[in-house]
Amino acid sequence: MHTPVTIIGAGLGGLTLARVLYVHGIPVTVYEAESSPLARAQGGLLDIHDYNGQLALKAARLMDEFHTIVLEGRQALRVLDRDGTVLLDRADDGTGGRPEVQRGDLRQVLLGSLPADTVRWGHKVSRTRALGEGRHEVTFADGGTVVTSLLVGADGAWSRVRPLLSTATPEYIGKSVVETYLFDAGARHPAAAKAVGGGMLIAPSPGREIFAHREKDDTLHAYVGLSEPQDWFAAIDFADAATATARIAQEFDGWAAELTALITGSDVTPVLRPLYALPTGHRWDRVPGVTLLGDAAHLAAPNGEGANLAMLDGAELGTALAAHPDDIETALAEYEQAMFPRSAETATDEMPGIDSADNTAHGLINMFTEKSQRVTQAPN
């Protein structure tokens, strides 16, 4: 295949696509708005699943590199009630199929597997337009342009490529997450560190919940979920760390101190992240010369699958293009026909919504038990 592929976005999905194309000798350029690989923090832990994310890494021929960045023991899981009672304490026995890595480390593995000039940094897209016959023009914020016969939008929730295919836009799901970090947790935040344990903590409650991970360097990274309209959060000054953490902690009045310490003990200014989603089952009619992957295609409420799906999208699109080097449209159609139902199915999460009466520690454990029984009873 000699038609160069133009990818917008150097996230995990876009980079996985670029790597698979590179493995198959297909020319590719990635344009990224960020000024450099280190322009911003890359988020926390990701569990990379053996049924999607790891399949993508195998297609990219990067499993050996992946194993070097896995954080041992982080598949451990604890479920706590609001009063701090531990209702589930599952150790990481190495058989879970969902090893944890730092998102930034995984991105660096992908970047390191590509020629240095593959990613063009500091290229923020301002608009895209169709030129006809499958060709598209991309205009950047600095006024520069590029014309391509194969454009892939891997540019996330607010994709500038999506309007070429769809009028859908993300909508607020009624929930936001406040992120906090506690550093050197064993020494400086021992109660919170003990509550989290060696891997992941879940403390659910209707309308309020706390998730936390133990990351590298004894860092606790917490995600404090609250079901409130955006106006409610707008009334909080998140630039004032003390005021913001106190206001959020107020919503967890009566919870165990070791859990609220994940809010009040934050060593950084808390970060507000409103959550958005595209309509479940979002799809489009085939448009020559352009497609989407990852959040640009199927942004959903967080369910542990987003990064994995983006990587699998990238791997399958790259594989399809390699399999049909003389027929781009067949490759794109084949990719989309598999991607649409997969993303729709994954968006239908078994986890109870934050406002559900079942969003409790006991309810979560009951769901785990029922799911385990279904798997055990399923015919081979």
Whether residues 26 and 66 fall in one domain = yes
Whether residues 110 and 235 fall in one domain = no
Whether residues 158 and 273 fall in one domain = no
Whether residues 160 and 197 fall in one domain = no
Whether residues 313 and 285 fall in one domain = yes
Whether residues 286 and 322 fall in one domain = yes
Residue 91 falls inside a structural domain: no
Domain that holds residue 17: 5-71+98-170+278-347
Which contiguous run of DSSP H or E holds residue 361? helix 361-377
For residue 260, which of 297, 209, 215 has the smallest C-alpha distance?
Answer: 209
Q: Please compute, for residue 98, the number of CA atoms within 13 A of its CA located in the half-sphere on the CB side.
A: 15
Whether residues 285 and 269 fall in one domain = no
3-class DSSP assignment, residue 218: helix
CATH classification at residue 193: 3.30.9.30
Q: Residues 165-217: pLDDT tens digits?
A: 999 999 999 999 999 999 999 999 999 999 999 999 999 999 999 999 999 99
Question: Which of 40-49, 315-324, 371-380 reaches the highest mean pLDDT?
Answer: 315-324
State the alpha helices, DSSP H only, in 60-151.
63-69, 103-112
Q: Do the annotations mark residue 295 as ligand-binding? A: yes
Looking at every residue in the chain, the average pLDDT score rounds to 94
Q: How many domains does the chain have?
A: 2
For residue 12, which of 263, 311, 269 has the smallest C-alpha distance?
Answer: 311
Whether residues 270 and 293 fall in one domain = no
Whether residues 162 and 199 fall in one domain = no
Sign of CA dihedral 86, 88, 94, 98: negative
**pTM exceeds 0.85 for this model:** yes
For residues 120 and 36, give the distance between their C-alpha atoms in angstroms, rounded to a whole number.
Answer: 9
Sign of CA dihedral 56, 58, 60, 65: positive
Whether residues 127 and 269 fall in one domain = no
pLDDT at 122 over 70: yes
Q: Do the annotations mark residue 40 as ligand-binding? A: yes
Whether residues 45 and 125 fall in one domain = yes
- The pLDDT-based confidence of 11 (bands split at 50, 70, 90) is very high
Whether residues 143 and 26 fall in one domain = yes
CATH classification at residue 155: 3.50.50.60
